[in-house]
């Protein structure tokens, strides 16, 4: 089952910290962005993080992967989720400054993917019950 892709809803967020004025953190969480910011503050930062922006997403891992790809040239380190840019610039680069419009193609693709994954699980269960 190593090839199984788990699709989880959650949040794509942009966090800031006044001790790092030229940087913003772009990441994802399956909890709330506020809980994630509090968790990061517990890692030893001198002041709490602020949730600058957050958007609910259907697939947190895909949303984060896509966001990091779009912002790659602003990335501070390949091992970190920090980007040297302002929040408004990040929001605009991510295309999140426009009102969200549901895409029928995207919805249909998700339904199709869910069905394929469901059939895969059903096949495994049937084989196991064999």
pLDDT tens-place string over residues 63-73: 999 999 999 99
Residue 123: what pLDDT? 77
**Structure confidence by residue, pLDDT tens digits, 69-93:** 999 999 999 889 999 999 999 999 9
Residue 75: what pLDDT? 96
Q: Which 8-state DSSP code applies to residue 6?
A: P
Q: Which 8-state DSSP code applies to residue 94?
A: T
User: 82-84 and 10-16 as β-strands: parallel, antiparallel, unpaired?
Assistant: unpaired
**Structure confidence by residue, pLDDT tens digits, 21-61:** 999 999 999 999 999 999 988 777 889 999 999 999 989 99
Residue 69: what pLDDT? 94
- With beta carbons less than 8 A apart as the criterion, state whether 42 and 78 touch: no
β partners of residue 26: 14
Average pLDDT over the chain reads 84
Q: Which two tokens stand for residue 108?
A: 């249909």
Residue 1: what pLDDT? 46
Distance between CA atoms of residues 47 and 75, nearest Å: 22
Q: Nearest 5 degrees, angle CA 40-CA 75-CA 69?
A: 100
Chain-centre distance of CA 44, in angstroms? Answer: 23
Residue 95: what pLDDT? 85
H or E stretch at 46: none
Residue 2: what pLDDT? 55
Query: pLDDT-derived band of residue 17, with 50, 70 and 90 as boundaries?
Result: very high
């Amino acid at each position: 089952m190593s090839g199984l892709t788990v699709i989880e809803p959650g949040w794509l967020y942009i966090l800031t910290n006044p001790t790092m004025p030229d940087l913003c953190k772009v990441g994802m969480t399956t909890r709330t962005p506020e809980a994630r910011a509090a968790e990061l503050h517990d890692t030893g930062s001198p002041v709490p993080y602020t949730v600058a922006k957050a958007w609910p997403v259907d697939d947190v891992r895909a949303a984060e992967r896509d966001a990091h790809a779009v912002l790659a040239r602003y990335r501070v380190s390949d091992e970190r989720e920090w980007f040297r840019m302002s929040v408004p610039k990040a929001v605009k680069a991510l295309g999140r400054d426009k009102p969200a419009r549901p895409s029928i193609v995207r919805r249909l693709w998700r339904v199709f993917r869910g069905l394929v994954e469901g059939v895969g699980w059903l096949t495994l269960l049937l084989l196991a019950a064999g």
